Structure 1
Amino acid sequence: MPTSCHAWVTQDLLTKFLPACVIIMDNATFYKRQGVKTAFANAGYTLKYLLSYSPDFNDIETEKSYQGTTPRQNVLFHKHFG
């Protein structure tokens, strides 16, 4: 098992994609290191990143905000999002 992100990308991950794929990664800093970017580019893949995180677009964050509300409000929320 590779011990670094670069080793994991080059030894494991890149071997599993079809040629000329677009790879979408999250915004973790180790995915943005030049060595990782270069490995994807040299393998012929296009690397794209997700948009920055926003709690406004995450249902889990919305649900957490309702934890302090009354039980009746929680039931209505779960019927809507559950």
Structure 2
Amino acid sequence: MKIIATKEPQNLVYIDESGIDNTEDYPYGYCQKGQRFYALKSGKKIQRISMIAALNGRKIAVPLTFEGHCNMDIFNKWFEQFLTPILEPGQTVILDNATFHKSNKITELAKGVGAEILYLPPYSPDFNKIEHHWFAIKNRARKNIPLFTSFRHAVDSAFL
């Protein structure tokens, strides 16, 4: 993206959502060399935790976790209550093309603090740098599941 290349890296704020459910625990097992390992695992999702966060430089900022899936109402409230207070004039907020990202309220909130909104082209997750962080965050959450009595707390701990 030519526009992104013209911006100072410290002025780029990448936004994205992701989710994890509590059936994503992949235990290790053993079998004879050359044989495939099989394990019984329920295909039913029991609990889903969604996450929204911003990436500025190499720092994850204002993460929010919640049960269920993201929608325009949740995203708008996160943007207003968590992201807007830390945005600075001249910053560019980079979003993918999720329908709930495209509201007049988001544009107005960004303009109100002197920031601009930039939407990535469709189907271009490689341009959104926060995408590369979700794997590590989910991996930490999975490893923390045995340490917590609550799946939600295990996910929250991945951001610490």
TM-score bin (small chain): 0.5 to 0.7
**Residue in structure 2 matched with residue 41 of structure 1 by the alignment:** 111
Whether contact under 8 Å (1:31, 1:37) holds in the other structure is: no
SS of the counterpart of 1:20? Answer: coil
Q: Which runs of 5+ in 1 are unaligned?
A: 55-82
| Equivalent residue letter for 2:84 | L
Name the one with the larger helix percent: 1
Deviation (angstroms), 1:9: 0.3
**Residue in structure 2 matched with residue 7 of structure 1 by the alignment:** 77
- What aligned pairs does 1:1-82 form with structure 2 within 5 A after superposition? 4-53=74-123
Whether contact under 8 Å (2:88, 2:113) holds in the other structure is: no
Q: Which runs of 5+ in 2 are unaligned?
A: 1-63, 67-72, 125-160
Q: Sequence identity, in percent?
A: 30
Deviation (angstroms), 1:23: 1.0
Residues paired across the two proteins, number = 54
Name the one with the larger strand percent: 2
**Residue in structure 2 matched with residue 71 of structure 1 by the alignment:** none
| Equivalent residue letter for 1:28 | A
- Aligned-residue CA RMSD (Å): 2.2
Residues 38-59 of structure 1 show CA distances to partners (whole Å, capped at 9, x for unaligned) of 11111110100111116xxxxx
Q: Which has the larger radius of gyration?
A: 1
Q: TM-score, normalised by structure 1?
A: 0.55
Spell out structure 1 runs of 4+ moving beyond 3 A: none
SS of the counterpart of 2:122? Answer: coil
